[in-house]
Chains A and B, each alone.
Chain A
Amino acid sequence: MDNADVLLLARAQFGLNIAFHILFPTLTIALGWIVFYFRIRYARSGDAAWLATYKLWTKVFALTFAMGVVTGITMSFQFGTNWPGYMQKVGNIAGPLLAYEVLTAFFLEATFLGVMLFGMNRVPGWLHIFSSAMVAIGTTISAFWILALNSWMQTPAGHVMDGSQLIAGDWLQVIFNPSFPYRMTHMLLASGLTASFVVAGLSAWRLLHSGEDPSARKTLRTGLMLAAVLAPVQIFVGDLHGLNTLEHQPAKIAAIEALWKTERGAPLVLFAIPDDEKRRNDFAIEIPKGASLVLKHDANAELKGIDAFAPNVPPVAPVFFAFRVMVGMGALMLLVAWAGVWATREGALPRRWMLWAFSGFTFAGWIATLAGWLVTEMGRQPWLVTGILKTADAVGGPSGAQLGASLTAYIITYTVMLIAYFVVLTHLAGKGTAA
């Protein structure tokens, strides 16, 4: 087996793991806060319906959190096993950021989760509320460190060379690197949208399957309202994030726009089938001068194409399509959320087909998030750390056979886990809070 195959297997395995892992934190980061909100509502009102709501959603949270924890442990091993070159080259920067995540977030969330889930009758009310808050804060801090590291890999800053070693010159610059504020906001909003659609979707499922349930109507409304507010904010922040990428990672933007040649007045490619071999678009539908206008606010401005960055360019087709999936899902989610808010106005119960639509959109956030991560991670290629380390130079360690065997084992395990997750979630939602 040659090196190219090993690289491919190492990437496939890591990609599978990270894509599977990201599903769960994406949900729990915001769901932690939503559950906290339910807890506060119960504390304020003493209403049994809010208590039932809180209890149901802590179960969903616990389940999702456990999925995130176990896949996250796997990730902590794979950093070293699949990418030894990564730790050798940038370990002095990546290491401490990961360590801070474990120290400041993991223990906080894992320890207080026990109190939050099982301690309601064992500790005073305020302490239980405090524990719920700690869990939510923990998940958010976790996101902070991981996105700081990921953003640093995209737009490195604050590092210096000490002999042959790359070290941090200024930790604040490392953490608050140029793309970090945008990526962090974009990701937190993605989490908020994902969680609000899960809340709305499962509540709709409950209304469809267990008849009249006042708490399900409350949570349906909560989810839709939250989504309706967050969706337009996300579109705005996403645009800012894109402009930031144009400044720091122009090759990624060229791939997103399927712009092969540097030109003035570049067209906005709405749809095409980019051909990475021949470096051209087939079946393109374009708006003349559109890309220059959108990205530079000037119809005749020059935009750099793929040719300006060759040979260090990302694969265009997957980035191009993933970006359109993300934007398309975002637009659909906005539409569904606004229609939903209108359909539930003044406590109205939406028609059955609308409830089915909300149920269908339960995991819409996951699709958009995965597509977004594909854009940003594939768009960074061939670099692992932009301008510093190439993905191909970081691979090593296990043989192709070991990678192949373990990849198979992971695929089977993850498939079982995901099916079980869906079965239990629909079961929980179907039962309603009455049971």
Chain B
Amino acid sequence: MSLDLPLIFAALMGLSILLYVVLDGYDLGVGMLMPAADAHEQELMVASIGPFWDANETWLVLGVGILLVAFPVAHGIVLGALYLPVVAMLIGLMLRGVAFEFRIKAEGWHRELWNWLFWFGSFLASFAQGLMLGRYITGFHTGFGYYVFAMLVGASLCGGYVLLGSTWLILKTEGTLQKKALGWARWGLIWVALGVGLVSLATPFVSTTVQAKWFDFPRTLALMLLPLATLAAGWMVWATTGRLRRGEREWDWMPFAATVAIFALAFAGLAYSLFPYVVMDRMTLWEAASHPSALKFMLLGVAIVFPLLLAYTVFAYRVFRGKARAGLYE
């Protein structure tokens, strides 16, 4: 039996990136929401992501790592073309990561400064990631329209992360902060609806490849299940936040779960648009793959480690289940 190694690694890379977007997405979203909360609420918000952000970010390293080691040629092209947004993202992630640690230990205006940097870093990283996505799906074409499109995707992704962050807070907090988060989630949802709608409409116009894949009857009819399911998930977020606002206490995990579903569906649509390209219109994943000997050696490691990795990720989330409490280090 011969394994299609490039395909396996493409799937693993996709899974890692999706996990990264969802997991780091909620903590970046919480970071962007910081200015909207008072000092006590900020403590709770930080406490809700404290035990997780580090491991969440590791999924990015794994995703990019797989791109680097399994598709080295594509890594060079993609990250070369995205050089400046990548630098912006890295600086955003650095500021945010250290601000998280520093703000806990700082006092007075120092803490204010780190709070601000925490917000700024979260925002910069999120926007840069959206920008990268926008440039990536259009195959790095240059031109005014393409840049506007990329900015649009950047803004939409910020909205998406705000939605993830606020629904995470609905799950992890209670009382007034949870009430606020319910409001944030609804704004985030509107933002996402506009963003996803615009991007979905615009993408076929900026890319003929994508157009050909989606507008191909009768396949189009089957494909319409994706936007329909996305609409259903969006409606779930709206409906369950409404119920929670009316004072019901059950289902506080539902808005987050439905948001994750929106992200997974959008991701599936994107993956369908791209496949089998790893660099849009230029290079398929088989053309970009590294030598089978390297892939085989890595697959061995992945097969052994991946289940363990998922197991202790689940373990960590179980340890810190329930509502967040202020005073992280106590």
Contacts and interface: CB of A to CB of B under 8 A. Distances in A.
Interface of A: 55, 59, 62-63, 65-67, 69-74, 76-77, 79-81, 84, 87-88, 91-96, 98-100, 102-104, 106-108, 110-115, 117-119, 121-123, 162, 165, 167-168, 171, 396-398, 402, 405-406, 409-410, 413, 417, 420-421, 424, 427-428
A80 B305 contact: no
Contacts of A73: 57, 60-61, 90, 93-94
Given A73-B90, A73-B93, A117-B329, A424 B102 contact: yes
Given A80-B79, A102-B58, 12 more contacts: A66-B54, A73-B57, A81-B86, A94-B69, A95-B70, A99-B65, A106-B62, A108-B312, A115-B51, A119-B320, A397-B76, A406-B83
A106 B64 CA distance: 14
A107 B305 CA distance: 10
Contacts of A413: 91, 94-95
A91 B69 CA distance: 6
A96 B302 CA distance: 11
Contacts of A74: 90, 94
B247 to A, nearest CB: 29
Contact of B105 (A63, A69, A88, A95): A63
A397 B81 CA distance: 8
A62 to B, nearest CB: 6
B290 to A, nearest CB: 5
Contact of B101 (A55, A62, A77): A62
Contacts of A118: 50-51, 320, 328-329
Interface of B: 50-52, 54-55, 57-58, 60-62, 64-66, 68-70, 72-73, 75-76, 79-80, 83-84, 86-87, 90-91, 93-95, 97-98, 100-102, 105-106, 290-291, 293-294, 297-298, 301-302, 305-306, 309, 312-313, 315-316, 319-320, 328-330
What DSSP secondary structure best describes chain A's contact surface? helix
Contacts, number: 198
Nearest to A107: B309
Contact of B294 (A91, A106, A396): A91
B298 A77 contact: no
A117 B102 contact: no
A94 B319 CA distance: 36
B286 to A, nearest CB: 15
B313 A168 contact: no
A100 B300 CA distance: 10
B75 A80 contact: yes
B105 A59 contact: yes
B98 A117 contact: no
